[in-house]
Structure 1
């Protein structure tokens, strides 16, 4: 199956989840990950706001804020096309809608965190396989942004993909630019490679 076909199929599965199933999954994800993240104190954590049927992050955001972690959201880089920046996010952060209709913090350069200073980055994904391969929406934003991190084998940030269990497929066709993940969390499991 081609990448676009997998993308369409898995997005349909993800979007078919009921509101109750989505809420329960978000609560389970929070429970699953908060225990896993106990060793990290006052960490700098990047995550994303849910869009297009993605696994909900609002419960996780609230729990991480309650644990005194500093949170950062992706912002489309204004000058480097196809790259992301990670900007500080708090409950009262001014927000805007980017060109894809996704909420992001209104750009404030003084609140950008360099990627190497982040402890953890949670990434969205459309599909993943049993080897840690990740299929995104097709824009390549995370792959481009994380390429240097993988080429130089930085010790941090830890990159964790978030997905519903229904987004798992047997095998993804990969391209040279695809960045595999060492950890993917679903509400039910933590897959690590």
Structure 2
């Protein structure tokens, strides 16, 4: 299946799933698993994206990271032809604004940028269990970023609706697989 068609199918599937109690249950399981994961425990600077309603909820995760004294950086898509992104320092005092994609981003021109992170929690619409390939949202922001910043560990949180046994989409040379895939118990 081509990526564009699968993206549309996955967004619809995830939007339907977002209204269920099962999604809430899986989000809790994923939160427990990542908080117990050694890769998170050994990381101090963590990049994350503010989740949309149909994605795995990152709001509770961010709050727990703050409670543990971790430095949280929120992804911000740059408005340029290169589709680049940066990670901006994010605290509970930071003002956010919705991007053109509807994602909440840091709205402070003086916010500290840190692209040399210990860990990046990478969002996606679909993940292949066998290869850890990811189907993103189509802009290439994360793949471009990860190609330039190879030192960071990468992890993705995937609920039962995001997991595929193998890739059912075309994998391109520029697609960067995720190092660690954390799934719910229901997968």
Please, what TM-score do these two structures have when normalized by structure 2? 0.87
Query: Does the 8 Å CA contact 1:42/1:68 hold for their aligned counterparts?
Result: no
Contact preservation (8 Å) 1:46, 1:122: yes
| Correspondence for 1:74 | 75
Offset of residue 41 of structure 1 = 5.1
Question: Is the Cα–Cα contact under 8 Å of residues 41 and 69 in structure 1 kept in the other structure?
Answer: no
Secondary structure of the structure 2 residue equivalent to 1:96: strand
Counterpart residue number, 2:121: 122
2:156 paired with 1:161:
yes
Q: Distance in 1 between matches of 2:55 and 2:40?
A: 26
Q: Give the superposed CA RMSD.
A: 2.2
Contact 1:30/1:63, CA 8 A, preserved across alignment: no
Provide TM-score, normalisation by structure 1.
Answer: 0.85
* SS state at 2:64 partner: helix
Distance 1:175 1:97, change over 3 A: same
Distance 2:186 2:37 in 1: 11
Shift in Å, 1:42: 6.5
**Residues 184 and 122 from structure 1, CA distance in 2 versus in 1: closer, same or farther, beyond 3 angstroms?**
same
- Aligned pairs (5 A) from 1:32-71: 32-37=33-38, 40=41, 43-71=44-72
Structure 1 stretches lacking a partner, 5+ long: none
Q: Which runs of 5+ in 2 are unaligned?
A: none
Q: Matched residue pairs, number?
A: 183
Distance 1:189 1:36 in 2: 18
Aligned equivalents of 1:184 and 1:98: distance in 2? 27
Supply the distance in 2 between the matched residues of 1:27 and 1:146 (Cα, whole angstroms).
27
Contact 2:43–2:118 (Cα < 8 Å) also in 1: no
**Cα contact 1:27–1:59 (8 A) shared by 2:** no
